[in-house]
Structure 1
Amino acid sequence: MHTLYASFARFGPLHAQSAALWRGEIALPSELAAFYAQIGPWGETMHAHVGPVGIDIPGVNVCFPPLQRLWSLQAGYRWQGNSGERLTDWPDAWLVIAEQNADPFIFDRDSGQILFAFHGAGRWEASVLTQDLATFLAALAAIGTVYLDAGDDLEDDDGALRPAHRDAALRALATVLGDEDAAERFFETLEW
């Protein structure tokens, strides 16, 4: 995870976080405990009463909360945000670990796979994005690094991603996933 740490450190402040910070009603999966202990997305503190807000992966806006906020991220997926009532259409094995515009990236506690689903579809239909957490993190780090390195040149004057940077991100992603078709599918999921 050393390489991942170096990549994620470019996206925002990191801080090793002990599993003792977990506030969930279910056991914290060991893969996630290791991620928070070794990489620890922390983020900036915008307001003292809020604390750290987590980090965003550049260009794709995938947000990872700090560990003490991970359980509260389940609101709206696992339970109804206002009443706290458990939502029956959300499988118990699913744990949202990151989101992109309220679309959840889900750690499946039964399989270890990372799933992705679109919110607002009427019912949750998640598809497998990667086979494990390490691959998911490496894929996002690859894309985020390309986008971060592009700097102000990332988008054209109309705000569209420049094809050269999209191609570079796809190449980096294919290196991680070992397959150009898998890279294209992963990337299309993030672009929606």
Structure 2
Amino acid sequence: MTSFSRIRDQFARFGELREQLRDRWNGDIPLPAVLADFYEQVGPWGATYHENVGPVGITLSETNISFPPLHRLWNLQAGYRWDASNGQRVPEWQENWLVVADQNADPFILDIETGRILHAMHGTGSWDPAEVAPDLPTWAAALAAVGLVCLEADEDLRNDDWEIKPEHRALALQDLIAVLGDEQEAECFLEILEF
């Protein structure tokens, strides 16, 4: 398992990080210990563009995966745990699921009971998430690996058809194998990210 201090060093390339203590959590369920550790030790904070909004969190480059600051994490549950239009609980959303980040509204979910990270597609009519990582530190390290490839490629990342260039995908795959330990898992991870 990757340490949060290493992940912090990688995440720092994507925006401001700040230690966020557990008392910033405003959810209706207890904050899972691993998530509390993530926010204390990594602490995605982000820039403040409007004072009335506050910090917006960080996005990992071209992956479009966004992490809110801890005090906004409970609000991220709207549209998943409860219907954002009427506040009613979504019946098929399991109590042990907590959205920790999203990619264009597709949630990455911490399964509080198992510690696994799941991913689901929004707009399909039901929530049917699949496992993407065995735990939050592994998942965050894998995301950082792909995000750093994007960041370092900069404007050279995509070809004229707006597809990821093969050499950058190969580099991301290589870095993911180092994190996940398995080429097939790394390939599946890239497919989920549509990379």
The yes-or-no answer on 1:35 pairing with 2:41 is no
DSSP-derived class of the 1:63 partner: strand
Cα displacement (A) at 1:155:
1.2
Task: Report the counterpart of residue 99 of structure 1 in structure 2.
Answer: 102
Task: Report the counterpart of residue 132 of structure 2 in structure 1.
Answer: 129
Alpha-carbon deviations, 1:63-109, whole Å to 9, x = none? 00000000000001011102111111100000000000110000000
Q: Normalising by the residue count of structure 2, what TM-score does the alignment of the two structures yield?
A: 0.96
Letter in 2 for 1:82: S
- Show the 5 A alignment for 1:165-176: 165-176=168-179
Considering only aligned residues, what root-mean-square deviation do their CA atoms show, in Å? Answer: 0.9
Question: Pick from 184, 187, 191: which aligns with 2:187?
Answer: 184
Cα displacement (A) at 1:158:
3.0
Unaligned ranges ≥5, structure 2 = none
The yes-or-no answer on 1:70 pairing with 2:84 is no
Cα displacement (A) at 1:151:
1.3
**2: distance between equivalents of 1:60 and 1:123?**
24
- Show the 5 A alignment for 1:144-183: 144-183=147-186
Letter in 1 for 2:24: L
Letter in 2 for 1:37: E
DSSP-derived class of the 1:122 partner: coil
- Show the 5 A alignment for 1:4-23: 4-23=7-26
Alpha-carbon deviations, 1:108-159, whole Å to 9, x = none? 0010000000011111101011110010000001111111111111112332
Cα displacement (A) at 1:3:
1.3
**2: distance between equivalents of 1:83 and 1:119?**
18
Unaligned ranges ≥5, structure 1 = none
